[in-house]
Amino acid sequence: MEPIIELKNADIYQRETLVLKNINLSVNKGEFLYIIGKVGSGKSSLLKTFYNELPLIVGNGTVCGYQLEKIRTKDVPFLRRKLGIVFQDFQLLTDRTVYKNFEFVLKATGWKNDKTIKDRINEVLAIVEMGHAGPRMPHQLSGGEQQRIVIARALLNNPEIILADEPTGNLDPDTSDALLRVFMEINAEGKTIIMATHDYPIIQRFPARKIICEADGIRELADDTDIIDFESLLEDLPTV
């Protein structure tokens, strides 16, 4: 199977600072991958490289058929339409309803027919069990509800990959579990999901492939690695 994401000998920079070096990573279509590590260890930087917020300067990378080291500025929006991004801080427009948030995204990405837009918004809200939320303002929703809305927004353009950056960071355990069940259901439908997290109980309850960001790069962890080993492994890791 041809990878949907592949990095070869890639160095990840935040401006002039080398965050991760000599990264070799392959992710197949339909996989669920956790990226774990201490705060500041490079998890978010790796995700940002996938959607070209951080350009790939050293090494080679391919995401959804786009070569990251060669991508032209005019092609970056087309790459990002193939990706759904879920942020910890929601990034919802607070001056409009959930429906209007979604309508804004769809119209900005070329959707024109009002009925088609309405049908798609209702469809993605139903996927995350938030069909009632369209007319509500973001501040009227709980943190867990807002995060479900953000997942639905990420699904609007039927992306090939969902990238989630610490999506459970501000949520209680029960809400986090409910959110992970949503991600797992989406993954079961064939979507590739890559989640950066240091929420280790979540990894234990919802096991999947996992890599750890370390000061000198990344390393894959075996499926049977115990959660206690994760924590001891991370204790002595320097942060960037």
For residue range 103-129, what is the model confidence (pLDDT) as tens digits? 999 998 889 999 999 999 999 999 999
Q: Is 201 a member of any domain?
A: yes
Query: What is the predicted pLDDT for the residue at 224?
Result: 55
* Mean pLDDT for the chain overall: 90
**Residue owning tokens 């000998």:** 9
pLDDT for 9-53, tens place per residue? Answer: 999 998 889 999 999 999 999 999 999 988 888 999 999 999 999
User: CA 21, CA 2: separation in Å to the nearest integer?
Assistant: 24
Question: Do the domain assignments include residue 128?
Answer: yes
> What token pair was written down for 41?
């260890």
Closest by CA to 24, choosing from 10, 36, 44, is 10
11 in a domain, yes or no?
no
Provide the token pair at 82. Answer: 């193939």
The pLDDT of residue 75 is 94
Please state, as a whole number, how many other Cβ atoms lie within 10 Å of the Cβ of residue 103: 20
pLDDT band at 89 (very low <50, low <70, confident <90, very high): confident
Domain limits at 182? 31-55+78-235
Establish if 214 belongs to a structural domain: yes
140 assigned to some structural domain: yes
pLDDT of residue 222: 80
120 within some domain: yes
Classify residue 10: in a domain, yes or no.
no
Domain total of the chain: 1
The β-bridge relationship of strands 83-87 and 32-36 is unpaired
Count of residues making up the chain? 240
pLDDT score, position 230? 60
Let me know if residue 22 belongs to a domain.
no
Q: Please tell me the pTM assigned to this model.
A: 0.89
DSSP state of 13: E
Residue among 96, 97, 118 nearest 106 (CA): 118
Nearest to 172 by CA among 142, 210, 207, 150: 142
> Which residue reads 């990405």 in tokens?
109
Give the per-residue pLDDT at 171: 86
Tokens of 63: 């995401």
3-state secondary structure of 77: helix
- Per-residue pLDDT band for 94 (boundaries 50, 70, 90) equals very high
193-205, pLDDT tens digit by residue?
Answer: 999 998 889 999 9
Q: Given a cut of 50, is residue 240 above it in pLDDT? A: no
Which of 67-71, 107-111, 184-188 has the weakest average pLDDT?
107-111
The pLDDT value recorded for residue 1 is: 72
**At 86, which CATH number?**
3.40.50.300
- C-alpha 181/C-alpha 118 separation (Å) is 26
